[in-house]
């Protein structure tokens, strides 16, 4: 992990507290000048960082930039240990055709439990039965590579239900929204869809042995539903709207991981 990422992780983990440059330098074993340079680099990357004389630095509350450091700061220890020292497990994109497609490629070429692919938007998002899944910016699109020995079942419907319930519980624990799972792969608030789940798997041809499972989760996080295509805008809703956001996407990703990577 780079010095910049380590500083970001510190700031993410201490959002309500100002951290002095001296304290961060001592904690990370780097110079005050390196701290200053990293803070400037983070600001160039879009992070709003408050700076107060004799207090230090603090992330502004409105930051919602997906990052490995931001996600890691909210992970429980047993899950954080999966990613500790292995930055290559987390892949973040501004735009990608499909997080599931990328996760499957990674599962085939370098199978690692917990591999995570996240994007701000998908240009070719897919749902069940190869239906398209509208995935504009404002949403949260993530795919996780899992392996059979870490799952409560290898039945596809049971896996999807397990993941759906975990996402419902994560959203309910962090917000005032209480989604319901219908029937096993879509989350609804009232009669409107807020999330879709797609489970895909790879097997060994000769033995039929299940090798990996990719879980795709698409959530309307802060989506402009009015901009959705006419055929789906009246059937969809968003977790947040009008800028009334109370959590970050990093928090939600971490809470979901805490529930499914056991």
Average pLDDT per consecutive 10 residues, the chain (262 residues; last block may be shorter): 86 88 92 93 92 91 84 93 87 97 96 97 85 91 96 90 97 96 93 95 89 96 93 94 84 97 85
Tens digit of pLDDT for each residue in 162-206? 999 999 999 999 999 999 999 889 999 999 999 999 999 999 888
Quote the CA–CA distance of 70 and 52 in Å, as a whole number: 22
Model's pTM, two decimal places? 0.89
Contacts made by residues 27-30, CB under 8 angstroms, sequence distance 24+: 28/3, 30/3
How high does pLDDT run on average in the chain?
92
What integer pLDDT is reported at residue 63 of this predicted model? 77
What integer pLDDT is reported at residue 119 of this predicted model? 97
Pair 224, 113: CB distance under 8 Å: no
Tens digit of pLDDT for each residue in 226-256? 999 999 999 999 999 876 888 999 999 999 9
What integer pLDDT is reported at residue 64 of this predicted model? 85
What integer pLDDT is reported at residue 129 of this predicted model? 67
What integer pLDDT is reported at residue 107 of this predicted model? 97
156, 122, 223, 240: CA torsion to nearest 10: 50
What integer pLDDT is reported at residue 115 of this predicted model? 98
| Residues forming beta bridges with residue 119, ordered by sequence position | 93, 141
What integer pLDDT is reported at residue 130 of this predicted model? 72
Pair 86, 113: CB distance under 8 Å: no
Pair 144, 214: CB distance under 8 Å: yes
Quote the CA–CA distance of 80 and 148 in Å, as a whole number: 20
CA 230 from centre of chain: 28
Task: Name the one residue in this structure whose structure tokens are 């100002």.
Answer: 18
């Amino acid at each position: 992990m780079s010095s910049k990422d380590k500083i970001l992780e510190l700031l993410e983990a201490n959002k309500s507290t100002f951290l002095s440059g001296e304290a961060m330098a001592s904690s990370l074993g780097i110079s005050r000048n390196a701290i200053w340079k990293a803070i400037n680099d983070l600001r160039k990357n879009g992070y709003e960082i408050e700076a107060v004389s004799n207090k230090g630095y603090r992330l502004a509350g409105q930051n919602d930039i997906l990052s490995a450091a931001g996600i890691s700061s909210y992970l429980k220890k047993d899950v954080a240990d999966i990613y500790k020292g292995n930055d290559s497990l987390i892949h973040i994109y501004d735009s990608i055709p499909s997080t599931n497609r990328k996760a499957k490629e990674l599962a085939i070429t370098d199978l690692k439990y917990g591999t995570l692919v996240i994007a701000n938007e998908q240009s070719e998002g897919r749902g069940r039965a190869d239906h398209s899944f509208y995935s504009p910016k404002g949403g949260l699109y993530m795919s996780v590579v899992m392996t059979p020995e870490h799952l409560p079942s290898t039945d596809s419907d049971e896996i999807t239900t397990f993941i759906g319930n975990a996402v419902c519980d994560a959203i309910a624990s962090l917000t005032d929204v209480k989604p319901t799972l219908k029937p096993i792969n879509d989350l609804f608030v009232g009669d409107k869809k807020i999330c879709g789940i797609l489970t895909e798997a790879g097997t060994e041809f000769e033995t039929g042995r299940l090798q990996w499972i990719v879980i795709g989760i698409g959530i309307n996080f802060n989506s402009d539903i009015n901009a959705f295509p006419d055929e789906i805008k009246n059937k969809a809703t968003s977790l947040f709207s009008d800028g009334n956001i109370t959590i970050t996407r990093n928090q939600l990703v971490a809470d979901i991981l805490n529930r499914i990577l056991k």
